[in-house]
Structure 1
Amino acid sequence: MNYAVFDTGQSREVIELFRRVFTDSEGRDEGMLIGNLVSGLISTRGRDVAGFVATDQEKIVGCIFFSRLTVQDNTNAFILSPVAVDTSYQGQGTGQELIGFGIQHLKEQGVERVFTYGNPAFYGKVGFKPVSEECVSPPLELTQPEGWLGQSLTGDKIMPIAGASRCVEALNKQEYW
């Protein structure tokens, strides 16, 4: 398995991967929703989005995106969302290794904190721990607050950050939260 930084030339294949994986697991509507999210993230300009791919013999079998989380104290923070691994590669550690690769890349770029909103059992395997909404406010209202997770990339404890947070426009829709 090879891990690399996402290249925009991979856009069509990556969007299709997300659509297929989420359609297979959660239905066509969810597949289209997440495919549209990925398309929006790819269209985001500047250094506010970072994507990473896992390839097996030139075929993209996994992809993740991190996007900027703007917080009141100017901590350099990103949100991991979404994550997709081809169903035939799931359960083999591909997603965990890809997330580890992406986090290491962000750490080297000076990112201090990463957050995600998802399954604590899965994301706990790659260092994410529960974060209360009072400690770090998510950008939008959470339907499952137990899924708000974070980790420090500096070795420090995640300290409370007062005030609201903001995410990139592509992720700034209640249906993702």
Structure 2
Amino acid sequence: MIELSFGYKNQSSRLPDFFYDVFSASVGGEEGRAIQSLIRELLKTEPDQDLQGCVATDGGDLLGCIMFSRLTFDQDPRRVFLMSPVAVRTDRQQGGIGQKLITFGLDQLRAQGVGFAITYGDPSYYGKTGFLPISEAFAQPPMPLSQPIGWLGQSLSGSQADPMVGPSRCVSAFDRPDLW
């Protein structure tokens, strides 16, 4: 039976290799190593209030994980989190685990008073969980985007969101142009 939990700390020692395995299998070893390094840095450097995560397990086996890190807009009081990276074990993909995990994680953020979530990825996949394309004018990314079509967001407050005010800052682990 699949269990979803908000929190990643009881799985933190397994996460870098988990993300490496998933990304290496899907897009190659170089990308796998980059995401593995990102996860290690996120876990090592980011304070609890700036890093959230949720996991899917089955009988103790790690099936999926999503990380959320704070994205700050200098002149905007709203709490915003970046959803990235997202991974589901390759032999369990296409079964809805990723979408369930995303929905669960967003519900948890919403319950904490987070007003907006942003991700950077495939619009057709993330659109299934309510993410819509947003412009760089609506929410200025912290770095130039290599694929602006993948800049996606959704209001978690239940109302249509106004554009974000001011430039944005990501957590230090994401402060690398090669990730954008």
Q: TM-score interval w.r.t. the shorter chain?
A: over 0.9
Q: Is 1:65 aligned to residue 63 of structure 2?
A: no
Number of the residue aligned with 2:147: 144
Q: Using the alignment, how far apart are the partners of 2:47 and 2:120 within structure 1?
A: 23
Q: Which residue of 1 aligns with 2:55?
A: 53
Unaligned runs of 5+ in 1: none
d(CA) in 1 for partners of 2:161 and 2:151? 13
Question: Could you give the per-residue CA deviations for residues 97-121 of structure 1, whole angstroms, max 9, x where no partner exists?
Answer: 0011111111110000000000000
Find the counterpart in structure 2 of residue 25 from structure 1: 26
Aligned-pair CA distance for 1:9: 3.4
User: Would you say 1:16 and 2:9 are equivalent positions?
Assistant: no
- How high is the TM-score relative to the length of structure 1? 0.97
Q: Is the CA contact 2:8–2:52 (under 8 Å) kept in the aligned structure 1?
A: no
The count of corresponding residues between Structure 1 and Structure 2 is 177
Cα deviation for residue 42 of structure 1 reads 1.4
Scaled by the length of structure 2, what TM-score is found? 0.95
Q: How much has 1:88 moved relative to structure 2?
A: 0.7
Quick one: which amino acid aligns to residue 13 of structure 2? R
Deviation of 1:15 after TM superposition, in Å, equals 1.3
For structure 2, list consecutive stretches of 5 or more residues without a partner in the other structure: none
Shift of 1:75: 0.9
Determine which of 140, 159, 164 is the counterpart of 2:162.
Answer: 159
The separation in 2 between residues aligned to 1:69 and 1:7, in whole angstroms, is: 19
Moved over 3 A (4+): none
Share of identical aligned residues, percent?
45
Report the Cα distance in structure 2 between the residues aligned to 1:14 and 1:130, rounded to whole angstroms.
29
Matched, 1:124 2:120: no
